[in-house]
């Protein structure tokens, strides 16, 4: 009886995973296919990757994506860590709500409202507007990870440091910070990943000359899903996967609590 049940569970789990991963595997496989059609296997080739690295538009988009992701992860990590600390220390009802709302708000609403806001400020849309938008929605994610790390921390350590004559700043720098560091790094990696992959908010806030990789891919599939799109998608997938693995290694508890 018991084993029968677990068999069904295994089967269900396998099906669910297959549904998630088979399409991704197909994209990866076809990115090495020596034919323009995503329909039949002709032979192995690297030519799509070669074409990709010669495609200037693509390289500019990749550069924009990376630049925005780096700026976003740095800023969102600093602000998100501060927010996490504040949420942990001051048990205010409103604060978590304010910090975490951007996570719950539908992206499309956030994109539209940010666009209207930027236009109202008479700001020229460009890389800066995209980075600001990304920072806004990444802060909450970083704050959650940092807060859950703090909740798992032994408060008596900080108290002991204070008893031994450390100033609040020293106590934070020498005790709290090293202890929550894995959480901070995991948060930064998450922010980086979210920024690299975001489409909806970027779509609304990107101005002239600030196309990112997801925007580029989207405009290309209007015509047909070419192997070049498969190739760039594969690279993006690999990058995202590495970052996620790294983040979960660093802060397993935080990501499990999610």
Partner 1 sequence: MKKVLLALMLAAGTVHTAQAEDVLHLYNWNNYIAPETVKNFEKSCKCRVVQDYYGAMEEMLAKLAAGAKGYDVVIPTGFAIPPMIKQNLLQPLDKSKLANAKNVSPAFMNTQFDQGNKYSLPYSFSTTLVGYNDKKIKELGINPSSWAIIFDPAVLAKIKGKVTVLDDSREVFAAALMYNGYSANSTKPEEWKKAQATIIKAKPFWAAFNGQSYIKELTLGNIWVAHGYSSDMFQANIDAKAAKRNFGVAYGLQKEGNTLSLDSMVVLKTAPRPDLAAKFVNFMLDGKNASELTNMIGTGTPNAAAAPFVKPEMKQNSAVFPSAEQMKKLQQLTALEGKALRDLNRMWTQVKTAK
- Nearest CB to partner 1, comparing residues 101 and 219: 219
- Nearest CB to partner 1, comparing residues 11 and 42: 42
Q: How far is the CB of 154 from partner 1 (least distance, A)?
A: 27
User: Is there binding between residue 45 and partner 1 (CB under 8 A)?
Assistant: no
User: Is there binding between residue 224 and partner 1 (CB under 8 A)?
Assistant: yes
Q: How many residues are there in the chain?
A: 258
Residue 152 and residue 245: Cα distance in Å, rounded?
21
Please, are residues 180 and 149 in contact by the beta-carbon 8 Å criterion? Answer: yes
Stretch that binds partner 1, among 127-135, 151-159, 172-180, 241-249 (CB under 8 A): 127-135
Q: How far is the CB of 83 from partner 1 (least distance, A)?
A: 17
24: Cβ contacts below 8 Å, ≥ 6 apart: 237
User: Is there binding between residue 66 and partner 1 (CB under 8 A)?
Assistant: no
Residue 258 and residue 247: Cα distance in Å, rounded?
13
Residue from 28, 45, 51, 70 binding partner 1 (CB under 8 A):
70
Residue with tokens 């921390």, as numbered in its chain: 153
Q: How far is the CB of 93 from partner 1 (least distance, A)?
A: 32
- Nearest CB to partner 1, comparing residues 128 and 257: 128
Question: Of 148-207, which residues contact partner 1 (CB under 8 A)?
Answer: 204, 206-207
User: Is there binding between residue 54 and partner 1 (CB under 8 A)?
Assistant: no
User: Is there binding between residue 36 and partner 1 (CB under 8 A)?
Assistant: yes
Structure tokens at 44: 């192995």
User: Is there binding between residue 127 and partner 1 (CB under 8 A)?
Assistant: yes
DSSP tag of 93: S
Question: Of 107-126, which residues contact partner 1 (CB under 8 A)?
Answer: 112, 115-116, 119, 124-126
User: Is there binding between residue 79 and partner 1 (CB under 8 A)?
Assistant: no
CB atoms closer than 10 angstroms to residue 201: 24
User: Is there binding between residue 83 and partner 1 (CB under 8 A)?
Assistant: no
- CA-to-CA dists, residue 119 to 114, 149, 215, angstroms: 8, 38, 20
Residue 172 and residue 218: Cα distance in Å, rounded?
45
Please, are residues 164 and 42 in contact by the beta-carbon 8 Å criterion? Answer: no
Stretch that binds partner 1, among 74-82, 92-100, 157-165, 230-238 (CB under 8 A): 74-82
Buried b (16+ CB within 10 A) or exposed e, 137-151: bbbbbbbbbbbbbbe
User: Is there binding between residue 220 and partner 1 (CB under 8 A)?
Assistant: yes
**Residue 246 class from Cβ within 10 Å (0-12 exposed, 13-18 middle, 19+ buried)?**
middle
Residues near partner 1 (CB under 8 A)? 35-40, 42, 57, 67, 70-71, 74-75, 78, 112, 115-116, 119, 124-128, 131, 204, 206-211, 215-216, 218-224
């Amino acid at each position: 009886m018991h084993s029968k049940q677990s068999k069904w569970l295994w089967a269900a789990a396998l099906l669910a995973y297959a549904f998630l991963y088979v399409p991704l595997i197909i994209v990866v496989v076809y990115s090495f296919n020596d034919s323009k059609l995503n329909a039949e296997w002709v032979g192995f080739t690297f030519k799509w990757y070669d074409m990709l690295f010669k495609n200037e538009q693509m390289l500019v988009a990749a550069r924009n994506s990376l630049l925005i992701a780096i700026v976003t992860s740095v800023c969102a990590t600093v602000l998100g860590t501060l927010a996490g600390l504040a949420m942990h220390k001051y048990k205010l009802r409103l604060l978590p709500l304010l910090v975490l709302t951007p996570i719950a708000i539908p992206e499309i609403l956030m994109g539209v409202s940010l666009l209207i806001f930027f236009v109202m400020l008479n700001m020229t849309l460009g890389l800066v507007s995209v980075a600001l938008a990304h920072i806004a929605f990444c802060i909450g994610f970083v704050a959650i990870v940092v807060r859950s790390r703090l909740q798992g921390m032994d408060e008596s350590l900080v108290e002991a440091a204070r008893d031994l004559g450390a100033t609040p700043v020293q106590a934070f720098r020498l005790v709290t910070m090293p202890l929550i560091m894995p959480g901070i790094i995991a948060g930064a990696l998450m922010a980086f990943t979210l920024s690299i992959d975001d489409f909806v908010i970027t779509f609304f806030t990107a101005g002239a000359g600030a196309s990112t990789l997801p925007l580029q891919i989207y405009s290309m599939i209007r015509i047909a899903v070419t192997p070049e799109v498969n190739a760039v998608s594969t690279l993006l997938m690999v990058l995202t996967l590495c970052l996620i693995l790294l983040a979960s290694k660093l802060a397993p508890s935080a990501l499990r609590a999610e």
